Amino acid sequence: MEEKMKLAPDAFEPVSKKDELDDEKIVAPSRTFIQDAWRRLRQNKASYVCLWILVVIGLIAFTSPITASHPNTSNPNYANLPPKIPGVNINGFNGTSVVAGKRVDAYKQNHVPSKVHYTLGTDYLGRSLAQRILRGTLVSLLIGLFATLIDLIVGVGYGVISAWKGGITDIILQRIIEVISSVPNIVIMVLLMLILKGGMLPIILAIAFNGWTTMARLTRAQTLQLKSQEYVLAARTLGESTFKIAVKHLLPNLSSVIIIQTMFTIPSAIFFEAFLSYIGIGIQAPTASLGTLISDGQKNFQFLPYQMWYPAIMLSIIMIAFNILADGLRDAFDPRTARR
């Protein structure tokens, strides 16, 4: 016969109240939607690193009026000096350049004092390239941020109104978007340059003229889904005004779409500004931007490649970091879109 299983003496004793409370404890801590999105963003190492890269670049750029206060000060005697970092004896960073097949000290040839050095070299007018890159980064970031701010304000409001009103209002507003989207930005930029005579304002307006249409379409599509939700219908039944419903219920649920689209819009605006400045219809001399620096460096690229490489590297880092961060934010706010 099989041995009978022996049961413990307390096998059928009732569970104590303490054990019941322990079993009902929630193991994972409760988090808000933003806290949960932040946790998922931190788990995405590439996006988290790009976030801090952009923070560092932003801090350096926005403090450049103090740290790089003379970006346009020229000294023809110090023109086209190579980069020099004191204590670094590596070609490309020790102040030497190749002349007639021989490597010579460009600083000694130009009788530059021993205490004077340029970390990233100088341009054809003897201006510090490091200071001009910092100031150019600031200009590009400001243009991108202000253009995106206009896109945000106009696009979100336009999209919410279009979806909320519906009917003939929605049809008319969407046809207006189609007309505006068909106008090339270059045409708008040229017209604004003729009217406003250069500067940052025409570039910001040209970018914002039809850049807000994408934001408007996204918020409209999301609002069409949200307006039929139970909590929105309940708020309307209780007599809440349209403005309060938009602020309390629509905007918080649109926040993820708005943030993600904003992070994609900023690098697009920065790149468009750099393109306009590169072809000569954007920021004009002597004001520095990444586009003008790349354009000036391209003229001497065969003999002085560093004048183009450094601003191009800065622009590439900003573009790549913003796009990777935007991908990470999209996955953080909507885990269903995360790549497996």
Query: What does each of the 340 residues of the chain score in pLDDT, given as a tens digit?
Result: 445 555 556 555 565 555 554 555 555 566 776 778 788 888 889 999 999 999 999 999 999 888 888 888 888 888 888 888 888 888 888 888 877 778 888 888 888 888 888 888 888 888 989 999 999 999 999 998 998 899 889 999 999 899 888 889 999 999 999 998 888 888 888 888 778 777 788 888 888 888 888 899 999 998 888 888 888 888 888 888 878 888 888 888 888 888 888 888 888 888 888 888 888 888 887 888 888 999 888 888 888 888 899 999 999 999 999 999 988 888 887 765 555 4
pLDDT given at position 312:
93
DSSP 105-150: EHHHHTT--TT---TT-B-TTS-BHHHHHHHHHHHHHHHHHHHHHH
- CA–CA distance, 207 with 211 (Å, rounded to integer): 6
The answer to whether the beta carbons of residues 277 and 283 sit under 8 Å apart is yes
Helix (H, G, I), strand (E, B) or coil at 189: helix
Q: Which residues of 47-73 are buried (b: 16+ CB within 10 A; e: fewer)?
A: bbebbebbeebeeebeebeeebeebee
Helix (H, G, I), strand (E, B) or coil at 285: coil
Which residue has 């890159």 as its token pair? 133
- Record the tokens describing residue 99, joined without a space: 């002349």
* Cα dihedral across residues 144, 147, 153, 158: positive or negative: negative
Which residue has 């003999």 as its token pair? 303
- Record the tokens describing residue 153, joined without a space: 């304000």
Neighbours of 76 (CB within 10 A): 9
CATH number among 1.20.120.530, 3.30.1490.190, 3.40.710.10, 1.10.3720.10, domain 34-81+123-333: 1.10.3720.10
The answer to whether the beta carbons of residues 334 and 256 sit under 8 Å apart is yes
Residues of CATH 1.10.3720.10 domain(s) within the chain? 34-81+123-333
Q: Cis before residue 286, ω within 30 degrees of 0?
A: yes
